Amino acid sequence: MTPKEVLALCREKDVKAVDLRFIDFPGIVQHFTIPVGKLEEDVFEDGLGFDGSSIRGWQAINESDMLVVPQPATAFLDPFTDLATLVMICNIQDPITREDYSRDPRNVARKATNYLKSTGIADTCYTGPEAEFFIFDDVRFDQNQHEGYYHIDSIEGEWNRGRDEKPNLANKLRYKEGYFPVPPADQLMNIRNEMMQTMIDCGIDVEAQHHEVATAGQCEIDMRFDELVRMADKLMLYKYIIKNVARKHNKTVTFMPKPLFADNGSGMHTHISLWKAGNPLFAGSGYAGLSDMALHAIGGLLKHAPSILAFSNPTTNSYKRLVPGYEAPVNLAYSQRNRSASCRIPMYSPSPKAKRIEFRCPDPSCNPYLSFSAMLMAVIDGIQNKIHPGQPLDKDIYDLEPEELAAVPKTPGSLEAALDALEADHEFLLRGDVFTKDVIETWISYKRDKEVDAMRLRPHPYEFCLYYDI
């Protein structure tokens, strides 16, 4: 869609407001709204000003002026506003130099795809994230000087089997048995259908929707793969739609990786493949039908996985999911079909076009622009340096003998460890000026200060169970 076509759409749909959105550093959508009469064709070139110092991880207060530049190809009609509203995602620029802002996550993703093209390896990187989430009925939490707690409730939760609900109609999902019972056990079918249809109406190609493994409303809606930047755009829209449809039904959604203890967490298995001139490059005659290029791509992912996880698993809560026993891929190995490996080669179709790598570590708390870009840069490094991934691990990893399991590298055990890994291993991200040094340094310092240290300083409720009577 061109600027002229956007303006024509506004007239055709009698749009009254234009919502301009962008992604902050940690990965939350920000926005402001203008009357449709203020959207003129030159806005697509000149942009509009805003205060960048109020955005997390961005400008200092003495350099606060920044520009949002609407991207017409991202336009869609907001399905939730009472007033007819058109939405566009924006790129961020410096108003003086007119350079794209280095800490704009969407700019990082655009540079990653451009760098891929410049290497001559491929011209397109397709990604396909499988983001899981929980739909809850009631969530309360607080942390202050004298108390810290959270309370979660769900009509589906196994813990509600004995609650007096006047009447309690049973059909509560047992722990780890949410995959794939039909209604009435699955009580969220209609809501997921509404989410799915709203996504389709907004231009997202949806492949399937279903309940996930955990009790208490764990769900997944799968989108068809797309080019890296477009896919990151779609994932942000995906989250927006899911949260707002849930809100319409007086429910709430979280993409936290591990909101429930002792049940499965929410991952975001991410599929990746490279193409050139319309031809897939990962199909071949090697292991699992892979090309040498694909094997080297896996080698890059496995080598750099600890530092990638600083972006793909960027919260302290992420590492409460990455523990043994819940299908979480804590072992850095690759395999066909084996879901306990961190890199899996799906074998659903013999078509070369379907050949791809599934990186199973990421979770949906990530900023997709940064996560997808870090994965792509590791893939490129693996291909350029012919990094072989070693032997595949086709056994059940959790049934290995202790000495055999000890030889398998592990994911970091905490966000702090992942940030340490990123600090030690980030040169591959700097190539092509994709992740600049200020992005790496700001990410590490922000996460350590705002999240790692913030968690370390606060007493945990379970510490009282362990230590109060000492």
**Farthest-apart Cα atoms in the chain, separation:** 71
* 78 belongs to the catalytic site: no
- Give 176-222 pLDDT, tens digit per residue: 999 999 999 999 999 999 999 999 999 999 999 999 999 999 999 99
- Which of 360, 363, 416, 426 is catalytic? The answer is 360
* 339 belongs to the catalytic site: yes
- Which of 21, 78, 110, 130 is catalytic? The answer is 130
* 427 belongs to the catalytic site: no
- Give 382-399 pLDDT, tens digit per residue: 999 999 999 998 877 667
* 358 belongs to the catalytic site: yes
Q: What is the pLDDT of residue 398?
A: 66
pLDDT at residue 326 above 70?
Answer: no
- Which of 51, 65, 207, 438 is catalytic? The answer is 51
Distance from C-alpha of 306 to C-alpha of 296, rounded to nearest angstrom: 17
Q: Lowest-confidence range among 320-334, 359-373, 392-406?
A: 392-406
Instruction: Please check whether residue 328 is in contact with residue 265, taking contact to mean a CB–CB distance below 8 angstroms.
Output: yes
- pLDDT grade, residue 62 (50/70/90)? low
* 110 belongs to the catalytic site: no
Q: What is the pLDDT of residue 73?
A: 97
- pTM over 0.75? The answer is yes
Q: What is the pLDDT of residue 331?
A: 87
- Give 257-303 pLDDT, tens digit per residue: 999 999 999 999 999 999 999 999 999 999 999 999 999 999 999 99
- Which of 137, 156, 220, 416 is catalytic? The answer is 220
- Give 408-454 pLDDT, tens digit per residue: 899 999 999 999 999 999 999 999 999 999 999 999 999 999 999 99
- Which of 106, 110, 269, 356 is catalytic? The answer is 269
- Which of 104, 233, 263, 358 is catalytic? The answer is 358
Distance from C-alpha of 275 to C-alpha of 239, rounded to nearest angstrom: 27
- pLDDT grade, residue 325 (50/70/90)? low
Distance from C-alpha of 235 to C-alpha of 242, rounded to nearest angstrom: 10
Paired with 209 in beta bridges are 221
Instruction: Please check whether residue 373 is in contact with residue 318, taking contact to mean a CB–CB distance below 8 angstroms.
Output: no
In the DSSP assignment, the letter for residue 347 is: -
Average pLDDT estimate for 400-412 = 86
pLDDT at residue 25 above 70?
Answer: yes
* 130 belongs to the catalytic site: yes
* 220 belongs to the catalytic site: yes
* 51 belongs to the catalytic site: yes
